[in-house]
Amino acid sequence: MGMGRNALVTGAASGIGAACAMLLAERGVGRLVLVDLDGAALDALDLPGCEVLRFIGDVADPALWERIEVEAGPLDHAVLNAGIGRGAPIANLSFETWRELMTVNLDGMFLSLKTALRLAADGASLVLTASVAGIKPEIGNAAYSTSKAAVIQLAKVAAKEGAARGIRVNAIAPGGVDTPIWDKMPFFAGIVAQHGGDRAEALAAMGKGTPLGRFASAAEIAAQVAFLLSDDAATITGTVLVSDGGYLL
Ligand code: NAD
């Protein structure tokens, strides 16, 4: 699995992004450019043998990306992954929540992608984190679903634009993944309460609703991202890798 030396990961302090940063370091990426709002959690990542540049800030802030463009250096890989989830049925969805989702998940992704493409070496590979919610409409998830559908289209346009320089761009669309994102969603507290306060049991119960009967781990998603980034995926661009335990079937 051939990997380059320099990689950018956004949303690197937690969940899928943290798992990607750790796996890329393990697979021999020598220099990681990590972006997240949470500086303390970024500092806590264990990335032995890797040179690490940390950028603490909001992916939707153009000034952050201006700094990164000047300071980060060339990139062989990028995992554009920062994102948030919030939901309510459309009739009850506040404009504020809609804008918040679009700002982080879409504006933030556009700015990340723009800078990543400007820093990308010829032959670089990029993965954007979308979601099955960007493919299957989900009740109560309009803003998130719409933002992730747009991320998929953004990845495809970037794949066409980057191809002349051998740059590959793919999206990954996870189904349920066991990460802290769930703990930030109010409805999840209700599901945990239904399971006597046992978070693991609540996630397990949600996972049972899929054909394979469970959620993915962040490490499993990171391994699939690493495949898409690697030379093993040299002819794959503009695709959406669905990793959902069969949820979409
Ligand atoms: P997470 O909450 O564990 O991690 C997300 C990270 O992104 C956090 O460290 C957070 O601080 C950072 N972040 C959030 N907003 C940011 C901003 N504006 N600027 C910079 N950093 C910001 O969540 P996760 O589950 O690892 O999610 C990663 C991605 O995977 C997201 O795009 C999410 O939509 C997507 N996803 C997650 C699941 C799931 O079930 N966990 C499923 C499908 C897709």
Q: Where are the domains of the chain?
A: 6-175+215-241, 182-214
Atom 2 of ligand 1 has which residue's CA nearest to it? Answer: 181
Q: What is the mean pLDDT of residues 70-87?
A: 96
- Per DSSP, the three-state class of 148 is helix
Q: Which is the closest atom of ligand 1 to the Cα of 104?
A: 18
Note the pLDDT tens digit of each residue in 189-243. Answer: 999 999 999 999 999 999 999 999 999 999 999 999 999 999 999 999 999 999 9
Going through 60-194 in order, the beta strands assigned E by DSSP cover 75-80, 120-129, 168-174, 177-178
Q: Which is the closest atom of ligand 1 to the Cα of 58?
A: 19
CA of 157 to the centre of ligand 1 (A): 23
Going through the chain in order, the beta strands assigned E by DSSP cover 6-10, 31-36, 51-56, 75-80, 120-129, 168-174, 177-178, 216-217, 240-243
| CB neighbourhood size of 93 (10 A) | 17
Note the pLDDT tens digit of each residue in 166-191. Answer: 999 999 999 999 999 999 988 899 99
> Complex ipTM above 0.85?
yes
pTM of the model: 0.98
Q: What is the pLDDT of residue 186?
A: 85
Q: With beta carbons less than 8 A apart as the criterion, state whether 82 and 36 touch.
A: yes
Residue among 22, 84, 102 to mutate when testing ligand 1 (max atoms within 8 A of CB): 84
CA of 181 to the centre of ligand 1 (A): 6
CA of 164 to the centre of ligand 1 (A): 31
3 or 211: which carries more pLDDT confidence?
211
Q: Within 6 Å (CB) of ligand 1, which residues are found?
A: 11, 13-17, 35-38, 58-60, 81-85, 104, 108, 129, 131, 174, 176-177, 179-181
Note the pLDDT tens digit of each residue in 30-43. Answer: 999 999 999 999 99
Atom 26 of ligand 1 has which residue's CA nearest to it? Answer: 15
- DSSP element (H, E) containing 188: helix 186-194
Residues serving a catalytic function are: 144
Note the pLDDT tens digit of each residue in 40-77. Answer: 999 999 998 999 999 999 999 999 999 999 999 999 99
CA of 61 to the centre of ligand 1 (A): 16
Atom 34 of ligand 1 has which residue's CA nearest to it? Answer: 83
Q: With beta carbons less than 8 A apart as the criterion, state whether 217 and 178 touch.
A: yes
- Return the closest-CA partner of residue 243 out of 191, 169, 170: 170
- Annotation: CATH topology of 6-175+215-241: Rossmann fold (3.40.50)
- DSSP element (H, E) containing 70: helix 62-71
Q: With beta carbons less than 8 A apart as the criterion, state whether 113 and 128 touch.
A: yes
Atom 7 of ligand 1 has which residue's CA nearest to it? Answer: 11
Q: How far apart are CA 25 and CA 151, in angstroms?
A: 26
Q: How far apart are CA 60 and CA 233, in angstroms?
A: 29
Residue among 56, 177, 187 to mutate when testing ligand 1 (max atoms within 8 A of CB): 177
CA of 193 to the centre of ligand 1 (A): 23
